[in-house]
Amino acid sequence: MQTIPIVMSLNQAYVVPAIATIRSVLNSISDRNRIEFVIFHKELSPAAIRIMTTLVNDSGGRITFINVQEHFAGHNLKQEEMYHALLIPGLMAGHDFVFFLDADMIVTGDLLSLVHAMPADKKIGAVRCFFRNTILPPNVPRPLHDQTLRTGLKDTSRYFNAGLMLFNMKAIRPEDGRRCLQLISRRWKGHAESILNVVFHDSVQFFSVRWNYAMTHIAKDVVPFQPEIRKDVEESRLDIQVQHFLFLSKPWLPKAEHALFLKEGDCPEFRYHVQNYKNALAAVMKDISHVAPRLLCGASWEMTERHLDPEEKTLLA
């Protein structure tokens, strides 16, 4: 049975969250042997790569790294990692299915179940964008809706979020990959997400929103949703399979930053999930602090450690 890559795009700032995401996948996947993690990057240091490899391997996973910088030569992109997913149709053509995950997610469901739910004739599977499916009062600005309409798409409710995507490589054609790269020059604010929505808008399998739940919308009745997803949002809130800490829900932001969607004290569910995410990040940081000296110092660290007294070794714990 063919391995299914799970591609992530990283810069140096997201190493810790990425490891937390990877560990959550490994803890929830039904068969670890069926997946492998592939990191697209342009600037990860050798030390970061060694640390990620060690911690992922220790958690029972496999991971490889591909420097994709040469593929964007001449584009002069300020946030190049926001476009890396566009390379999947070309670089990963030898696989039947490929996942893409953002590095600010906690996965509690079995991603392999989505492969079985993917129709053979659909090119990409994803979740509808929460923000573009909210019903806003007439006098409230709608920048995301307007941005989507400027791409040429007529129905903003069918716009998908690129945080979790399943590429059906058997249905995707080489011209799809070429068009993804050609459209970079138009420089839409939505980066790769807008381009992917334009290229694949006629061939999307929409998964339940529980598979990419925007944690900014975890509070009940924060905003009304379009009728097509209203019931799904309500049911998924109680059975979230992928928590996406996008935008203002990132736990490293000040509490005041959440105020756009949440009022202090109004949502214990949000605080619960954010605290769990913080715990996962802290566990990664603790493990990095344990393995980094050995990886960076190698034999020198081990040789010196052997000559320490037990009391002295406790200082390293």
Do residues 114 and 25 touch, judged by C-beta distance below 8 A? no
SS3 state at 214? strand
Do residues 258 and 248 touch, judged by C-beta distance below 8 A? yes
Distance, in Å, from the CA atom of 3 to the CA atom of 210, rounded to the nearest integer, reads: 24
- Is this prediction's pTM over 0.85? yes
- In the numeric block, the tokens 């490589």 are attached to 169
> For the chain, what is the radius of gyration of the CA atoms?
21
DSSP structural state of residue 108: -
Query: Could you write out the three-class secondary structure of 113-137?
Result: HHHHCCCCCCCEEEEECCHHHECCC
Q: Cα–Cα–Cα angle for 204, 151, 211, nearest 5°? A: 35
**Using N-to-C axis directions, what is the helix angle for 268-297 and 15-28, rounded to 10°?**
110
DSSP structural state of residue 62: -
Strand pairing partners for 164?
Answer: 101
- The answer to whether the Cα torsion of 210, 216, 218, 224 is positive or negative is negative
Of 40, 89, 67, 73, residue with least CA distance to 195 = 89
What are phi and psi for residue 74, nearest 5 degrees? 90, -10
pLDDT in tens, the chain (317 residues): 689 999 999 999 999 999 999 999 999 999 999 999 999 999 899 999 999 999 999 999 999 999 999 988 887 788 889 999 999 999 999 999 999 999 999 999 999 999 999 999 999 999 999 989 988 878 878 888 888 888 888 888 999 999 999 999 999 999 999 999 999 887 677 789 999 999 999 999 999 999 999 998 888 665 688 888 999 999 999 999 999 998 878 888 776 555 555 554 567 888 889 899 999 999 999 999 888 877 776 666 566 666 666 665 565 55
